[in-house]
Structures are given as C-alpha cells and as structure tokens.
C-alpha cells in the first residue's frame, strides 16, 4: 500500500508531502490545477521515463519519493533479494532528475538502476488513465490473471514441463555425443587398440626410469659390490674374526665383574649385522642384469609410454585412465542406438505427461474464462458499456511455443459496438471506455490482484448522473480490497472517498504560481462537492445536494 508521496520542485510544486491511508482517496480541483503533476510525480518514483521539463523553473533538480508498506510474500521481496538489497517492512522508491535530464534512482536510499525501480513499481501500483495504462493492458499478463481468478494450480504443469525439458536435453546431448563419437570412430578404435597393446600401468614410468638408471651403471655397481663381498668373505673373514674375539672375551667374562658384558654384546651385534650386510649384498647383486638386451627392452618400453603420452596430451601415469575412458566411449558408441532408444522413450513419456497435465489446465482455464466473462458482463451496463462485450480468448499454441505455463495463449478482448469483432483492450476501447473496462475488470479481480494500489485518472470522463454514481459505487467496492487513488471531476465519485484532497493553484508570494494540495475536512469537502455540482457560483441547493451525496 502507498503510505506517502514526497515531491520537491516538480513543475508548479515546490514542496509537498501527502500521507495516504487504506481505502478510496480522491483528488479534485479545477482543470489545469495540477492534478496530473501528482500522477507524473508518482510515475517518476515508479520508474517512468524522466523528462527534464518537469523540473521547476530555477531549481537544479526535482526529487520525488514514494513510501510503501509490503504485506508478507509480496513479489517486491523477491526482486529485492535478487539484487541483494535488504528487505524491510516499508519500501521507499526515490527518483532525482536534474535540470540537464540526468536521472538517478534509489531504493531505501541505496542507488539502483531505473530498470529495477520500474520492475518494483509494477508490483506496487497500477495506473489507468486517459493516455496510459499498465498491468492489464499487457497481454503477457493475462494468463497469470486468469489463473489467479480461477485459483488454478500451475505447479504440476511447470513440474511436468521441467521433466520433459530435462528428458529432451538428455536425449539431445546423447545424440550430439554419439554424432561426435561416430565422426571420430576410426581414431577411437585405433587409439583403443594401440593403448590395449601398450597396456600402461599407473606408476610404471617411475619404476622403469629407476630400473634404467640402475642398468646404465650396472658394471660399476657390480664391481663395487663384489669388492665389498670379498672384503667381508675373503681371508680373515670379518664375521669369523668378530666371533673369535667374542668367544675369547666370554671365557674370561666371569672374572671381569660384568665390565666385559657390553663389549661382548657389541661384538655379537656387529657379527650379526655383518652377516646381514653380506646377505643383502648377495640379493642385490643377483638382481642386476648386465644383459644389454634387457636394458634395451626397458628403454623401449619407457620411450613407447612417453611417446604415447605426448601423442594423447596426457602424462604417462594418465595413460591407463585414458585407455579406460576411450574404451568406455567405444562401448557407448557400439551401444549408442540402444541408449538413444531408451532416452527417446523417456522423452516421449515425459512429453505425454506434460501434455496431459497441460490439457487439464487448459480445460480449467476455459471454464474460468467463462466465469470471468460472465462476471465482467454484469459490471458493464451500469458503467454505460451495455453495448460492449468482453471476452477471454484461450487458444492453443503450436507445440514449438508450449512452455512452463501450459499450451495456451490467453488474451482479454473487447468489442464496443454490436456486430464488431473483438480486439485487444488498448486498441479497441477509447480513453474513457478503457478506464471503465479496467474498473469493471478490477472489481471482478480485486481479491486476486497482486498489486495492492491502483490509480484511476478521470475514470469518469464523459459520463455523469447514474453512470458516474455506478463508477463511484464500484470504486468504493474495489477499495474494500485494494487501495484506490482516483483523480475525478465527478461529484458522485468524489463523495465516495475515504480521503479527499483538493488541488488548486495559488501565488507563491513572489509573483509566481504554485500548486497546493490540501486535505479536506467534512465542511470543506461538502463545499468542494457543491462547487463540482454548481460550478463557479455555489448555491444552497448545491450544498444540499452535496450533503445528500455525502450521506448516501
């Protein structure tokens, strides 16, 4: 709901603060008093196109701000979250336009784009006027409006559409992968055969490189190990000498009061380590292959692995994984037809499920459209639209245009004259007729409207008497569910207001002209409605008629 409007330096307005309440607020005043300036100012705060001509002469810039209260779950919260803007109980949209035409936009004092301001504004206020209108004139919104009116659940259709879309994407991706694989089939088979023959193993490069390094220095290694073995096992064998020394000490150890025990233990360990060293040398020596042909085989294997890795753009250790992947690709290629058949069947089933859910929704929409048309038809005669006809067209789209909201295109159409073909609201209805059509629609749709505030600019244009009274009655009824702001010249409409504001021109004290907006109390309100009834000269009869309207 719109809580307040703040205006600075807009055309004939210098400073103005207006506080709004729930219900029906009316603005009245002489033609040219500046009522349209208020709507222009509100439009700027909602993201309308800026015009530097709106800046008050002599002022460097204009500023307008509109404050709103948001009910829980309002669509504006989702837009704020999308832009990482804090969500608060109240929302202030502000616009500054400089005299040179530059424009800035703010949401709760944080700079934003004008585009975001416009998107937020579309969720907060609808403006219906002689020359502009938002919301219901956009055919893209008619489907959602009908669904809300009929309380139709679109969630099942959206879920089914998402499943169909996913199944179709899976089938398309599989087809593309199979096509790529078939285009590379010869290479794929050759690569798999080559890698199967090579049979690479993880870690093989490191072990082969180490083995090659040992074989390249084999003769020197063997020579050194043989010398060591000869030193350990030749004349005066080290182990035998250590054991001889150990036994000699053991024979006299009991006479040394334990002092020789550590020496004997050390000699025993030395003899055992010497034996272990000789055994290890024997084993290592036996593993060294001095056959040149063995070294050649190791080098050939190592170089073959490295060449294959370079060819396929992987490391040697990655060859085994590449072999596995290419083998799987080849297997998928060989079984590709079978896999595509399964995916195609899944897509067909998902499409059928979507079509079934969407057709059920279409039937519900047709029934809701009939109810909507009947309800709107009842509202038209009192609004002097008794010869007009409103219809909701629900037509099935070609399959290429099916979407998450179903199979249908929904459009609200009107025919203003008997025998004429229905057409779009904005093209068929004149300015005054359009506002009254919108009023009729809004009365019917009030409880389902996601937009909490509606502005009607001269919805009573060209009508009077009983028709104006019918317009006022419907505006009052609509204001039970929504906040309504109406600019009017009709006393029958003005008398229905919960708030009444008077717009008038006055002098600014410096020889200039300013627009003033004043809230009217009971007496001033009766006088204003009497003026609207009588014109320039207010009579006692006009005051009595005004009192009668206010008491109605």
Evaluate whether 538 touches 527 at the Cβ level (below 8 Å): yes
- The answer to whether residue 334 scores a pLDDT higher than 60 is yes
Collapsing DSSP to helix, strand or coil, 410 comes out as: strand
Give the DSSP letter string of 68-112: EE--TT-HHHHHHHHTTPPP-SEEEEEEEEETTS-EEEEETTEEE
pTM for the predicted model, two decimal places = 0.62
The pLDDT assigned to 111 comes to 92
- The answer to whether residue 287 scores a pLDDT higher than 70 is no
Lowest mean pLDDT among 19-28, 373-382, 454-463, 523-532: 454-463
Higher pLDDT, 418 or 125: 125
Q: Could you read off the pLDDT of 68-105 as tens digits, one per residue?
A: 998 888 888 888 888 888 877 789 999 999 988 899 99
Please name the residues in contact with 201: beta carbons below 8 A apart, sequence gap of 6 or more. Answer: 320
Domains of the chain by residue range: 177-336
Tell how strand 453-457 and strand 483-487 pair up: parallel
Task: Please tell me the distance from the alpha carbon of residue 343 to that of residue 158, in angstroms, as a whole number.
Answer: 21
Please name the residues in contact with 540: beta carbons below 8 A apart, sequence gap of 6 or more. Answer: none
Work out the pLDDT band at 406, boundaries 50, 70, 90: very high
- The answer to whether residue 53 scores a pLDDT higher than 70 is yes
Q: How many CB atoms lie within 10 A of CB 185?
A: 14
The token pair at 236 is: 């005066």
Task: Please tell me the distance from the alpha carbon of residue 208 to that of residue 299, in angstroms, as a whole number.
Answer: 8
Task: Please tell me the distance from the alpha carbon of residue 135 to that of residue 438, in angstroms, as a whole number.
Answer: 10
Q: Could you read off the pLDDT of 359-402 as tens digits, one per residue?
A: 999 999 999 999 999 999 998 888 888 888 899 999 999 999 99
The pLDDT assigned to 509 comes to 67
Return the residue matching tokens 């063995």: 294
The token pair at 173 is: 């991706």
SS3 track for 194-214 = HHHHHCCCCCHHHHHHHHHHH
CA distances to 24, 30, 79, 327, 544 from 490, rounded to whole Å, are 14, 12, 38, 84, 16
Collapsing DSSP to helix, strand or coil, 258 comes out as: coil
Determine phi and psi for 435, rounding to 5 degrees.
Answer: -60, -40
The pLDDT assigned to 131 comes to 43
Lowest mean pLDDT among 84-93, 218-227, 476-485, 495-504: 218-227
């Amino acid at each position: 709901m719109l809580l307040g409007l703040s205006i600075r330096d807009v055309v004939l307005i210098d400073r103005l603060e207006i506080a709004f309440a729930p219900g029906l607020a009316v603005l009245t005043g002489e033609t040219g008093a500046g009522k349209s300036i208020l709507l222009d100012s509100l439009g700027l705060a909602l993201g309308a196109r800026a015009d530097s001509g709106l800046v008050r002469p002599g002022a460097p810039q204009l500023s307008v701000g509109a404050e709103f209260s948001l009910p829980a779950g309002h669509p504006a919260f989702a837009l704020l979250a999308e832009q990482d803007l804090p969500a608060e109980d109240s929302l202030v949209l502000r616009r500054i336009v400089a005299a040179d035409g530059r424009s800035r936009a703010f949401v709760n004092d944080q700079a934003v784009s004008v585009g975001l301001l416009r998107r937020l504004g579309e969720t907060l206020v609808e403006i219906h006027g002689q020359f502009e209108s938002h919301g219901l004139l956009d055919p893209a919104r008619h489907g959602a409006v009908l669904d809300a009116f009929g309380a139709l659940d679109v969630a099942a259709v959206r879920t089914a559409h998402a499943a169909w879309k996913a199944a179709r994407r899976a089938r398309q991706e599989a087809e593309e992968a199979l096509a790529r694989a078939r285009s590379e089939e010869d290479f794929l088979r050759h690569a798999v055969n080559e890698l199967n023959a090579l049979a690479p193993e993880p870690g093989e490069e490191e072990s082969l490189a180490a083995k090659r390094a040992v074989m390249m220095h084999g003769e020197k290694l063997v020579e050194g190990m043989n010398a060591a073995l000869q030193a350990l096992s030749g004349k005066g064998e080290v182990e035998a000498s250590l054991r001889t020394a150990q036994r000699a000490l053991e024979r006299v150890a009991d006479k040394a009061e334990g002092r020789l025990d550590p020496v004997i233990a050390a000699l025993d360990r030395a003899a055992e380590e010497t034996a272990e060293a000789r055994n290890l040398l024997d084993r290592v020596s036996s593993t060294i292959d001095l056959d040149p042909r063995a070294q050649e085989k190791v080098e050939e294997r190592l170089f073959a692995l490295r060449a294959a890795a370079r060819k396929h753009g992987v490391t040697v250790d990655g060859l085994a994984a590449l072999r596995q992947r290419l083998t799987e690709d080849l297997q998928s290629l060989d079984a590709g037809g079978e896999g595509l058949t399964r995916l195609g069947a899944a897509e067909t089933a998902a499409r059928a499920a979507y079509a079934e859910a969407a057709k059920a929704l279409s039937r519900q929409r047709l029934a809701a459209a009939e109810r909507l048309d009947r309800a709107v038809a009842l509202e038209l005669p009192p609004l002097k639209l008794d010869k007009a006809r409103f219809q909701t067209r629900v037509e099935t789209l070609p399959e290429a245009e099916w979407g998450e909201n179903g199979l249908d295109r929904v459009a609200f159409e009107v025919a203003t004259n008997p025998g004429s073909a229905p057409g779009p609201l904005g093209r068929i209805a004149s300015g005054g007729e359009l506002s009254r059509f919108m009023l009729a629609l809004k009365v019917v749709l009030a409880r389902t409207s996601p937009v909490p505030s509606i502005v009607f600019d001269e919805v009573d244009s060209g009508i009077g008497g009983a028709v104006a009274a019918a317009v006022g009655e419907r505006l009052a009824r609509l204001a039970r569910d929504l906040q309504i702001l109406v600019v009017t010249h009709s006393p029958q409409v003005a008398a229905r207001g919960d708030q009444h504001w008077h717009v008038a021109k006055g002098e600014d004290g410096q020889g200039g002209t300013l627009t003033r907006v004043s809230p009217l109390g009971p007496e001033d309100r009766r006088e204003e409605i009497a003026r609207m009834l009588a014109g320039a000269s207010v009579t006692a009869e006009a005051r009595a008629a005004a009192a009668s309207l206010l008491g109605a």
